Amino acid sequence: MTRSGAGLFAALALTLAATPTPAQPPAPPPPARYNAVLRYHITSARDQHVRHYDALVDFLKQQGFAFVPALDTFPDSDREDRTKTTFSGTIGSANFLRLFRNTHVAALLLTPPGYTLPAAPDQPVAVRLELAPGFTPRRQQDLARQARVLLRQLGFVEAAGYDDRGYTRRPHTRLVGTVPAAQLQVAKDDPYPLPPLLKDLRSQPGGWLGPRILLEDLPAPLAQVSPLLVIEVLPDAAPPKGLAASAPRDDFALTRISDDLWAIASRKEDDSRVVRMEVLLAYTPDEKERGWREALAVAAPSVYVEGRIGSIVTVQARARDARGLAALPLVSTVRLARPARVGIDPAVKIDGDNARALRQSGLERLHRRGARGQGVRLVVIDADFQGHEELMDGKHLPKVTKYIDLTAERNDDLLPDPPAGDPKFLGHGTRCALAAALAAPDADLTLVRIDPAAPHQLLEVAKFINGAGVSTEYLTQRQDELSAEAATLRQRLRELLDEREKVLRNFEDEKNFETDYGILGTAGVWLFSERQWHYLRMEELERDERDHRRREVRYLRLIRALQDLRGAQVVSCALVWNTGYPLSATSPLSRWFDDNPSLKFLWFQSAGNTAGQNWNGLFRDADDNGVMEFAAPDAPLPRGRWTRELNFLGWRPWAGKESADLPAGARVRLALQWREPHDPDFFFRPGEWDVYRQPLASLRLVVLHQRDPGAKVLPADAFEVVARSEPLPQRLDNQPTSSTYELLLEFPVDKAGRYAVRVERQRSSQWELLVDPRNGREAVGLVDGLTPTGIRPLGTNTLPALEKQWELRTRLFVETVDEASVRQGRPVFLDFATARGTLGVPGDARAVVSVGAAGLDDKRRPYSADGAAANLDYLVKPDVLAYDALRLGKEETGVAFGASLATPFAAGLAACLRSDGMRPADLWRYLHQRPGGVLRAPAGK
């Protein structure tokens, strides 16, 4: 015997009518009346059937059900016809739930007035399906999952992001999606004239003589109740189409190539381009190990290694060679290089007051007493120092300001790359230098330009400052090239000297040579005059020797300049890598600072202008539906929201009012990073399958576009999926006991509007349509064991006593990656942003002084990052705040702002304190006395 879902629905509906219900999405008002098809179920025989039929008709009349056609047109035989199970008519939208008070009402199909089903049978129709309620939460969830299995056989495509609480406001009592129009139409040859979806779902889909799935093969609770009570057709003229699946890659190894690099490598017209890539190795090689280099060179003949930081190797290679690199067992991921970004718009004007900033910070007092940074070497590191030369006038920047451009080392001619910034504005690094010079005008200032897509250069500069020998991959190559070229030039000189005696013995008169053969140019010289040809080759040699000497001079100057970095006391760096590298102070760059006990300098690091762009916390899934909740179940919901499983995105321009809509044209990147413990017995071994290349936690990012935020036509929870991440993440770091993974998702904002993100996780079990091997019949069965139960890989033999449980903590970061949008503003999380985890690399290191921005009112700027490092709740960051309201530039025009500008100002203040006699240890303690407070000179200074 089956349970009466209708009766349970009625009881719950009546109970909940007088009790508070959870927030629900705004929706347009329903029509006054629905067109309805009602399926009833009366099993009584003969006279009892007639009595129950009459009672049902009377009940429907009382509830306002208007029969179409009218009742008086029905034949009398209908009252006793047990094969007749439907009524058609209209019902008020306020009353249709009351129909289920009668236990004979089995299901209801509702369509809005004036709605006509599409003629094409395969045309999708939007529907909202109410499920039978009344079970415990876990059993109710099972019913919904089991119903999905059967509905998929009918062509049901489930929507994403909708509220699954039905009219009872209980979870898992509603399904929303589309079905083919044929499932709502009566088939001509159907002996029981009912739309297929209105029939008992358990008899669908039908076979030749009956249902393909027998009732006895159905699991509980599906076997106990007909799952669909209300099928409501939604007035959605164009329901969203499903997101097209990306083209599969031929080999698993190719999935190790990032999407952005694959887009280049898979295009025939682009695959020969030389691009900068990052090869993420499956382990961290020792400093002297060379095997990985040889493996890369064999797999990709065009590859050139630029540098390595931990397990991340920066290379240049043709795009097509990414395939060969990804096929190497020792490679985890191949991707395009990730540049550090400084989020500001140089055109934005913010009121600056240098005199007030100097006065409030105590620098004015220090300057009066002669502590102006003299004798202190201050290094400013950035990616763009455009326009700094014209400001080296002693007023803005010291006349003896030194400049080192590390981009020169990778060019054959040892000339730096062209300026990367907008020529209309001073380079960002130039503004940082001006801020440092404003704070410490007499400091020995050195500007160092590095490539923002080469974090190994930043590490190299830190090592040079700390006293390491000057040696890099590129400098070694340049030295080898100069040596080889010098040998070639010497050989050419010897050959020319040997032939000079022969040329000088030739006394042939060539005074008419130009007249006779000048028109032939060099070819004529080569054919008709050994003497002239010799002179031309000598001139060419002299030119090449001059060029060689110039390159040698540039090389030696660069070497000396890098050597001169040794002993600098204060360093300021504005470059931050917010994604692409392990956080929680576990990146190779951050670890170098923290693990080096002999640091000889004070490193000031920008905290970044990323407030609101981050969520960091525990992966919660209280209802076990495989979707992460961004807040605890008892946390209040933001106004206008109905779920904790969606995190809506908004837009904060650098100047202007925040918007809930993302702007059209922006390209947004989401990065989900997590670290998970692993069993060291399964750590990467050459020649064996890398079992942890696939993480224990199988996560997915989904971006949804809210179709009608104002709920004028559609409910507010009507979404379309605009992007979905691939299941294989990048592995950023692989250690014997743990690994760090990052899942990336980039999407273009094709049209301005409201967007939300959600995080999904593979559940350990799911219901599927299976074939029972015992009888060969189809059945709905539970497939389990889909995820690991501990820290060992899936499918590994283990014992319960050996299983180690762990908590999954994730960090989700959002940013724009197109330069136009970066200059305009930044995307933020409107609902569930956290301060914890906002800092990037290397600001999450304990040994650096991270700096945030403060206004002259001594309050933290709303855009400045603030909060502990990711998953390090007790590491309070930033360490200090500094003023960024500074007027900088020639003739005091042009304004800069942000944490990246506050950082050199703080570094300049530290230089002044050093010049005033404060010892390094005392200065370090002073900087950490008031974490997050505005940095000022001590009152006694």
pLDDT block averages, 10 residues each, the chain of length 941: 50 45 84 96 87 95 95 84 90 94 95 92 95 94 96 94 93 96 82 83 66 80 94 91 83 92 90 93 91 94 92 94 95 94 74 92 95 97 93 92 95 91 84 96 97 94 95 92 94 79 57 50 48 72 93 96 96 95 94 92 96 96 95 91 96 91 96 96 90 95 96 94 92 96 96 97 93 84 92 85 89 93 92 93 95 95 91 89 88 68 97 95 92 89 56
Half-sphere exposure of 392 (CA within 13 A, CB side): 14
> How far, in Å, CA of 461 to CA of 278, rounded?
20
> How far, in Å, CA of 58 to CA of 122, rounded?
38
CA-nearest of 619, 575, 583 to 813 is 583
Could you say which DSSP state residue 621 is in?
-
> How far, in Å, CA of 53 to CA of 41, rounded?
10
The owner of tokens 């009766």 is: 7
Token pair recorded at residue 563:
């050597």
DSSP helix/strand/coil, 114: coil
* Residues 878 and 607 sit within 8 Å (Cβ to Cβ): yes
pLDDT of residue 508: 52
Torsion over CA: 194, 196, 202, 208 (sign): positive
> How far, in Å, CA of 143 to CA of 157, rounded?
17
* Residues 666 and 821 sit within 8 Å (Cβ to Cβ): yes
CA-nearest of 646, 643, 641, 619 to 703 is 646
Give the pairing of strands 228-233 and 124-131: antiparallel
CA distances from 929 to 301, 364, 864 (A): 54, 22, 20
CA distances from 741 to 251, 397, 590, 729 (A): 21, 43, 17, 6
> How far, in Å, CA of 607 to CA of 882, rounded?
11
Token pair recorded at residue 38:
């009602």
Q: At what angle do helices 899-915 and 428-439 cross, to 10 degrees?
A: 30
CA 833 to chain centre: 15
> How far, in Å, CA of 793 to CA of 787, rounded?
9
* Residues 861 and 884 sit within 8 Å (Cβ to Cβ): yes
Q: What is the DSSP string of 537-602?
A: HHHHHHHHHHHHHHHHHHHHHHHHHHHHTTT--EEEE---B-SSS-TTTTSHHHHHHHH-TT--SE
pLDDT of residue 803: 84
CA distances from 649 to 47, 78, 831, 833 (A): 63, 57, 8, 10
CA-nearest of 308, 450, 475 to 379 is 450
Q: What pTM was computed for the model? A: 0.91
> How far, in Å, CA of 186 to CA of 129, rounded?
19
CA 145 to chain centre: 30
CA-nearest of 557, 578, 588 to 459 is 588
| Cross-strand pairs, 836 | none
71, with CB counted inside 10 A (0-12, 13-18, 19+), is: middle
pLDDT of residue 916: 94
* Residues 164 and 171 sit within 8 Å (Cβ to Cβ): yes
Helix spans in 388-427 (H): none
CA-nearest of 359, 356, 353, 404 to 379 is 404
Q: What share of the chain is helix, strand, coil (3-state, %, to 5)?
A: 30, 25, 45
pLDDT of residue 526: 45
* Residues 125 and 181 sit within 8 Å (Cβ to Cβ): yes
Backbone angles phi, psi at 431, to 5 degrees: -65, -40
Q: At what angle do helices 354-361 and 899-915 cross, to 10 degrees?
A: 50
